[in-house]
């Protein structure tokens, strides 16, 4: 019997998750199919009920359902509980689901080696994705500043999930903080409006924009031209998918193959 997997969100049409997961399912010979499912806010619980009757193994969850996914689960990882959001549900039979958050290990995998004695991070933005990132950096003992347009949200995030000493300020002050940072992570959605930040000289420091494709391209081109080591969000997207896949199948898939398929899919649609 072919098992069902998928991603639930709204909007969802442009999700790369089916490309990533169906590629791995084919490569590794698992009898399952991964679908994108558009589910409006307020309909999440009904969608779970439907999936419980459809040989569903598990699902990924994206905007706007991540907090609701955690609430609907009967069991949850410590990380998902701490962040207050789940991006992975695994069906446990009956009407029970287990919640995990693979955005955290996905982000760390994409970022690469961290050194708490050397690294100082600036997180730009304080929305849903910043919660997982602030938690991940705090757990790794990284000194951290959160900068956001709405300062009260940065302060609340620093209080909720930052380590002791995590600072919060207005994103307009970013130049003051970037000078001493070794890693800058842009989690804002400013790229959707065609906005980007003018950066100081990078000297090989890391600028990681968790958006990808056309949204992050102008910011990353500018960062690279100023001498930053740049990363886009595709690596994080593929890594969080890989950790979900491992939860469902007990095996880690090939990250490079997933990344290549995503880049090919983006090229084909640009």
Binding site for ligand NDP (CB under 6 A): 63, 125-130, 148-150, 153, 171, 187-190, 193, 195, 210-211, 215, 233, 236-237, 240
- E-strand stretches of 94-216: 97-100, 120-124, 143-148, 167-170, 183-186, 206-209
Beta-strand relationship, 56-61 and 3-9: parallel
Nearer to ligand NDP, 163 or 197 (CB): 197
Beta-strand relationship, 88-91 and 97-100: antiparallel
**d(C-alpha 167, C-alpha 127), whole Å:** 16
Nearer to ligand NDP, 217 or 227 (CB): 217
Q: How far is the CB of 239 from ligand NDP (least distance, A)?
A: 8
3-class DSSP state of 168 = strand
- 66 is annotated as an active-site residue: yes
Q: How far is the CB of 250 from ligand NDP (least distance, A)?
A: 23
Question: What is the dihedral sign for C-alpha 262, 268, 269, 270?
Answer: positive
Q: Are 181 and 120 in contact (CB under 8 A)?
A: yes
Q: How far is the CB of 65 from ligand NDP (least distance, A)?
A: 12
**d(C-alpha 39, C-alpha 45), whole Å:** 10
Nearer to ligand NDP, 81 or 189 (CB): 189
Of 66, 153, 214, 231, which is the active-site residue? 66
Nearer to ligand NDP, 3 or 213 (CB): 213
Q: How far is the CB of 169 from ligand NDP (least distance, A)?
A: 13
Q: Closest CB to ligand NDP belongs to which residue?
A: 127
Question: What is the dihedral sign for C-alpha 215, 218, 222, 225?
Answer: positive
Catalytic site positions: 66
């Amino acid at each position: 019997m072919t098992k069902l997997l998928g991603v639930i969100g709204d909007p969802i049409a442009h999700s790369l998750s089916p490309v990533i997961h169906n590629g791995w399912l084919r490569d590794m010979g698992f009898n399952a199919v991964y679908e994108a499912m558009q589910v409006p806010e307020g309909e999440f619980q009904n969608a779970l009920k439907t999936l419980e009757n459809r040989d569903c193994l598990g699902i990924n969850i994206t905007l706007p359902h991540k907090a609701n996914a955690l609430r609907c689960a009967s069991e949850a990882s410590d990380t998902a509980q701490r962040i207050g959001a789940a991006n992975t549900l695994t069906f446990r039979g009956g009407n029970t689901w287990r919640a995990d958050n693979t955005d955290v290990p996905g982000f760390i995998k994409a970022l690469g080696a961290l050194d708490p004695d050397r690294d100082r991070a600036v997180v730009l933005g304080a929305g849903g994705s910043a919660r997982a990132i602030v938690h991940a950096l705090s757990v790794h003992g990284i000194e951290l500043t959160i900068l956001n347009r709405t300062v009260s949200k940065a302060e609340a995030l620093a209080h909720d999930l930052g380590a002791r000493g995590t600072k919060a300020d207005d994103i307009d002050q970013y130049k003051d903080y970037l000078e001493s940072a070794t890693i800058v992570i842009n989690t804002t959605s400013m790229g959707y409006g065609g906005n980007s930040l003018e950066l100081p000289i990078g000297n090989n420091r890391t600028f990681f924009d968790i958006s990808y494709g056309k949204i992050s391209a102008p910011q990353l081109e500018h960062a690279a031209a100023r001498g930053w080591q740049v990363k886009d969000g595709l690596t994080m997207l593929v890594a969080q998918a890989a950790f979900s896949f491992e939860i469902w199948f007990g095996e880690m898939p090939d990250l490079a193959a997933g990344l290549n398929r995503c880049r090919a899919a983006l090229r084909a649609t640009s």
